[in-house]
Amino acid sequence: MDNHYDIGIVGAGPAGLSAAFTVRWRNRSVFLADGRPEMGSLQRAPHVSNYLGLPPMPGTKLRERFLAQVWDAGVTIHRLTVKGVYPENGSFALQAGDDLVYVGAVVLATGAPPRDLLPGEERLLGAGVSYCASCDGPLFKGKRVAAVLAGEDPHEVLYLAELAERVYLFTPPDNIHPPFPSNIEPIPESLQAVTGSEHVEGVQLASGKTLPVEGVFFFTGRLPMAQLVPGLDTAGDAVEVNLRMATAVPGVFAAGDITGHPYQVARSVGQGQVAALEALSYMGR
C-alpha cells in the first residue's frame, strides 16, 4: 500500500464516504479507513425516508448506492482501525492497523460514540488505558493487563499475550475460540470500571470483584477518537467544530455524527463534503 495521500479520512459512513467522494471529485488522493465498515449506523437503519433526492429505502440500500458511487470515483475503503493521529509539521501520520500512513489533512468521521466511556477510562488514558497493542503493548512486558474485545479480530490480543504475563479477556462467549495461549484468561463477566489514582491499578467487574492489572486495552472497533487526537475540543460526546468543520487542531476536520446531534444522513453527507473541501483548502489545494 502506498503510504502518502492528500487527505486521510477515518470512518466510512455517510460523512466519510461523502468526504472521500469529494476529494476524488477534486482529483486529489484519499486514504479512507474503517475497521468495521459494515457496522455503521446507516446499515442498521431499517428505513431512510428523508434523504432528499431519493425515495425511501432501507439503510443498506442507500449505503450500497453511496458505495457504488464512491468506488466508481476510485476510492478504496481500507479495513483498518485508525488508532492514532499524530501531527507532524503541519501534516499528519495515521496509525492504521500496523501501518503508518502520511496525509496532508485529516477528516474524522467515526460516527456517534460507539459506547459510553467507562468510569476511569478517560482519566487514565495514557496512564495504563490504551486502544493500541502495537503502540503500547511493549510497556506491559511481564505485567498483567485486561483486554476488552468486541467482535474484532483477536490478533491484537494474541500480540499482547506474547508480551504480558497474563491477559484477562473480556469478550462475548461466542467470540472465544480455543486453543489460545494459556496466559489468556477469559473472564465471564463485564468490565465496569477502570480503577487507579495516578495510573491503572485494576479493573472492577460487574460482581464488584476487582482484578489487579497495570494496563487495560480496549479493542472495540470505532474508537473514542476525541481522545486519540491531542488537543481536540469536545462538548459531551461530540467533537466541537465550526461551520467549516474545523476542529481545534489545525488540519483536523470532523464531519457527521461525531460532531453531535441531530444524527441524520443528509447532514452527514453535507458536512463530509464541507470537511473535505476545507481540508483541501488547508493544504492549499
According to DSSP, residue 246 is labeled B
Report the alpha-carbon distance of residue 249 to residue 239 in Å, rounded: 11
| Residue of 50, 76, 190, 197 that binds a copy of itself (CB under 8 A) | 50
CB of 108 to a copy of itself, least distance (A): 15
Stretch touching a copy of itself by CB under 8 A, among 80-88, 172-180, 224-232, 235-243: 235-243
Report the alpha-carbon distance of residue 76 to residue 35 in Å, rounded: 13
| Residue of 52, 142, 177, 182 that binds a copy of itself (CB under 8 A) | 52
Q: Which three cell numbers stand for residue 205?
A: 467487574
Applying CB under 8 A, what is the total number of residues that bind a copy of itself? 35
Query: Parallel, antiparallel, or unpaired: how do β-strands 238-239 and 166-170 relate?
Result: unpaired
Report the alpha-carbon distance of residue 234 to residue 216 in Å, rounded: 23
Note whether 268 binds a copy of itself by CB under 8 A: yes
Note whether 51 binds a copy of itself by CB under 8 A: yes
Residue with Cβ nearer a copy of itself (267 or 285) = 267
Q: Which three cell numbers stand for residue 282?
A: 488547508
CB of 28 to a copy of itself, least distance (A): 14
Helix (H, G, I), strand (E, B), or coil: what is residue 199? coil
Pattern 16-35, a copy of itself, x by CB under 8 A: -xx--xx--x----------
Report the alpha-carbon distance of residue 97 to residue 218 in Å, rounded: 14
Task: Return the ∠ at Cα 31 (arms to 25 and 32), rounded to 5°.
Answer: 90
Report the alpha-carbon distance of residue 79 to residue 99 in Å, rounded: 12
| Residue of 91, 130, 247, 273 that binds a copy of itself (CB under 8 A) | 273
Note whether 266 binds a copy of itself by CB under 8 A: yes
Contact residues toward a copy of itself (CB under 8 A) are: 14, 17-18, 21-22, 25, 49-55, 62, 65-66, 69-70, 241-243, 259-260, 262, 264, 266-271, 273-274, 277-278
